[in-house]
Structure 1
Amino acid sequence: MTKLGYQIPNFTYPGTAPADLFGLVAQQAREADTSGFDTVMVMDHFYQLPMLGPPEFEMLECYTLLSALAQHTSTVRLSSLVTGNTYRSPTLLAKTITALDIVSGGRAQLGIGAGWFELEHDSLGFEFGTFTDRFERLEESLQIITGMLNGEKPSLDGKWYQVSEAVNSPAPLGRIPIMIGGSGEKKTLRLVAQYGDESNLTCPIEEVPRKLDALAAHCERLGRDRSEIGVSVMGRACVAPTHDQAKAELDAALLSRGLDVASMSEEDAENFRALIPYGDPDEIGELFSGYLIDGVTGITVSAIANGHLEGRVSLLGETLAKVVG
C-alpha cells in the first residue's frame, strides 16, 4: 500500500532537449528513492493532459520509462498512475507488468483505471466508447489480469475480451498489488472493493469521507474486509527552502505555460498559484497533514512546478515523510 508516493506527471522542462530528458526524470526517481517515498509513479498517457499543457508537450510511454527507472532505483515500488485500460489488451498488460516486476526485482505495482481522455483516444485510434463500455471493459480486464498475475490460466468469453487458458510465464517475483484510480462511488469503488489492494482518490479532500463511506459499503456487501484496502489521496506541491523561493519557482513554471502572474493583480495571481500549493517545508507539511483524515493510509504528490530542479524531490520527500510517519 502506498504510504508516500511521488508522481511524475510532466516531462516538459525549460531548456531541456530530448536527449537530456531522461536524465532529469531519473534524477527525480533517485531522489524519491532515498528521501522517504515508497512509490514512484508516472502517468499512462501519450498526450499531455489539458490542465497541465497542450497535447504536444513531451510525454514518455510509461512502461518503457518505468523499466528504465527500475535500473536507477533500488527500494521504491514502480507504478503507473494509472494505466488506461483501453490502451492495451489485458493479457499484454499482465505480461508487461510482470516484466516490470522481474526487471525491478519485485517492485512492480499495477495502477489501473477505465480511461477517460477522449482526445487521446480519437487522435491515436484507441476505441473510446461510452462510460458504461469502459467500465465493462475494465472489469473484464481485472478478471483476466488478476488470474494471470496469481499463477492461474484464466479463460474468459466476455463481451469485450476473449482469452483461453492465458499463460503468464515467467510469473511475477511476488504478489503484485493492484491500485485502482478514480473516485466514482458506484462503479470505481465497487471494483476496488472486489479486486483492488488500494484506492487512489482524485477528488477534493472534503469529499474523501463520503468516498470512504461508499467504499466501506461496497466491502460490506461483497464480504471484503475494508482494512485490507489502502486508500491514498492525490495532491500537488511546490516546496523550496524558503517561501519566497517556492513562490518564484512556481511563478516561473506558470510563465512557462503562458501565465505571467507578475503582470496580474495580486488577487488574480494568487488564484492561479492556488492550483499548486507552494511554500517552505513547514507550510507544505502543515498542508498535507490535513490529508491524513481517518481512513486514509497514504498520500501521493506531484511536484509539477519544480520537481526537475535538483534537490526539490528530496526536500519534498523529507518534508512529507515526517507527516506520514
Structure 2
Amino acid sequence: MTRLGYQIPNFTYPDTDSAGLFPVIARQAREADTSGFDTVMVMDHFYQLPMLGPPELEMLECYSLLSALAQHTSTARLSALVTGNTYRNPALLAKTVTTLDVVSGGRAQLGIGAGWFELEHDSLGFEFGTFTDRFEKLEEALQIIKGMFACERPSLDGKWYQVSDAINSPPPVGKIPIMIGGGGVKKTLRLVAQYADDSNLICGAEEIPSKLEALDGHCEALGRDRSEITVSWSGLACVAPTHDEAVAELDTFLGGRGLDLASMSDDEAAGVRAMVPHGDPDEIGELFSERLTTGIDGVTVSAPANGHIEGRVTLLGETLTKVLA
C-alpha cells in the first residue's frame, strides 16, 4: 500500500510546449520510481485547480498518462490521486484501471473520491448534483468496481448505476488496491472503513488525529480490522540542495502564478512562502518527521514548484525515504 507517494499536480513548465511536455513528466516518474517512492500519481482533472493556477493551464487526462508512464517505470504503483467518480461510468472505470494493471505488469491502484470541482463539471457537461448525490454515486460505484476487480460479475440495480452480470476479462494481474481520498469523518472515512485498502487524508496536519479517531470508530462499527488500512496524508514540498535554492525556485513558481513577492514586505512574503513547505533536505526531513508523529503510515507529496527540475524528485525521494526508514 502507499506509504510514500509522489503526485504530479501540474503540467505547466518553463519553456515547455505540448511536444516537450511528456518527456518532463516521464523524467519525474522515473526519478520517483528509482528514489524510494512506492506510488506515482497524477490528478484526475481536466482544468487546473484554483490553488495552482487558472483553469486554462495545461492538464492531461490521467489514465492515458498513467498508461504511458507504465512504460517508463518498473516498480512504483500507478494511480490517480484521486479519480473523480462523477467523470466515468464505474464499469468503464473498472475496465480502465484493470487495463492499466495489465499494461503495467500489476502496478495499478485505484484512487477515488466523490468529485468536487464544480466549475469543471459545469463547463464540460458532467452532472455535478448535490453533496449527497455524489456520495451515493461513489458508494454504488465502489460496489460495482470491487466486484469487477474480483471477477465476480456483479449486478446492481441502483439509484444511480445499473449493471448486469458485469464481465471484466482479462482479470487484473493481482489485487488492485483501492484508495479513497478525502477527510470527511461521516461519509468519506466510513466508505474507507467499508471498501478501501488505503485512506489518503486531505486535511490540515492538526486535524490528523481526529480523522484517525473517526476512522477507528467506523472500523469498529463495521467489524473491520483497522490494521488492514494504510493511511497517508497529502502534503506539498519544495526541496533543493540548499535553503536559498529552494526559496528561489519557490519564488519563481509563485511569480508565475501572479504573486510578486518582491513587492511585498518581508513578513508578507514569508507568509506566502509558508503555504509550501520548502528548504534543504534536513528542513524537509524534519517537517515530515513531525507529520509522521501524528499516527499516519505515510505521505503523498507533490512538488509543483520544482518537480520539473531534473534531480529534484530524486532528492525528495531520498530525503523522505530516510524519514520513513
TM-score (norm 1): 0.99
Q: Deviation of residue 15 (structure 1)?
A: 1.1
SS in 2 for 1:78: strand
Q: Equivalent residues in 2 for 1:39-188 (5 A)?
A: 39-188=39-188
User: 254-263 or 93-102: which moved more?
Assistant: 254-263
Following TM superposition, by how much is the alpha carbon of 1:264 offset from its aligned partner in structure 2, in angstroms? 1.0
Q: 1:52 to 1:105 in 2, by over 3 A?
A: same
3-state SS of paired residue (1:219): helix
Q: In the TM superposition, what whole-angstrom CA distance separates every residue of 1:194-224 from its partner, at most 9, and x where no partner exists?
A: 0000110000111000000100000000000
- In the TM superposition, 1:242-253 aligns within 5 A as 242-253=242-253
Counting matched residue pairs gives: 325
Residue matched to 1:10 = 10
Q: CA deviation at 1:294?
A: 4.9
Corresponding residue for residue 258 of structure 1: 258
Specify the alignment match of 2:34 in structure 1: 34
> Contact 2:239–2:278 at 8 Å: present in 1 too?
yes
Superposed CA deviations along residues 9-48 of structure 1, whole A, max 9, x for unmatched, are 0000111111000010000000000001000000000000
SS at match of 2:299: strand
Q: SS of the residue aligned with 1:175?
A: coil
Contact persistence 1:233–1:300 (CA under 8 A): yes
Partner residue of 2:218? 218
Q: Is residue 208–residue 294 contact of structure 2 (8 Å, CA) maintained in 1?
A: no
Give the superposition deviation at 1:316: 0.3
- What is the Cα deviation at residue 291 of structure 1? 1.1
Q: Secondary structure at the match of 1:40?
A: strand
Supply the distance in 2 between the matched residues of 1:256 and 1:294 (Cα, whole angstroms). 34
Q: What letter corresponds to residue 163 of structure 2 in structure 1?
A: V
| Contact in 2 for aligned 1:14/1:256 (Cα 8 Å) | no
Counterpart code for 1:110:
L
SS at match of 2:72: coil
Contact 2:78 2:108 in 1 (8 A): yes
Whole-angstrom CA distance in 1 between matches of 2:42 and 2:275: 20
Equivalence for 2:208: 208
Deviations 1:57-82 (A, max 9, x none): 00000000000000000000000000
Identical-residue share of aligned pairs (%): 77
C-alpha root-mean-square deviation of aligned residues, in Å?
0.6
Shift of 1:252: 0.5
Q: Does 1:309 align with 2:309?
A: yes
Partners of 2:291 and 2:77 lie apart in 1 by: 22
Equivalent residue for 1:24?
24
Deviations 1:98-148 (A, max 9, x none): 000000000000000000000000000000000000000000000000000
Deviations 1:263-320 (A, max 9, x none): 2111111111011111000000000001113531111000010000000000000000
Q: Does structure 1 retain, via aligned residues, the 8 Å contact 2:87–2:126?
A: yes
C-alpha distance in structure 2 between counterparts of 1:263 and 1:132, whole Å:
44
* Unaligned stretches of 5+ residues in structure 1: none
How far off is 1:89 after superposition? 0.3
For normalisation by structure 2, the TM-score amounts to 0.99
Q: Give the Cα–Cα distance (whole angstroms) in 2 for the partners of residues 167 and 17 of structure 1.
A: 41
C-alpha separation in 2, matches of 1:67 and 1:295: 33
Q: CA deviation at 1:164?
A: 0.3
- The CA distance in 1 between the partners of 2:9 and 2:297, in whole Å, is 22
The runs of 5 or more residues in structure 2 that have no matched partner are none
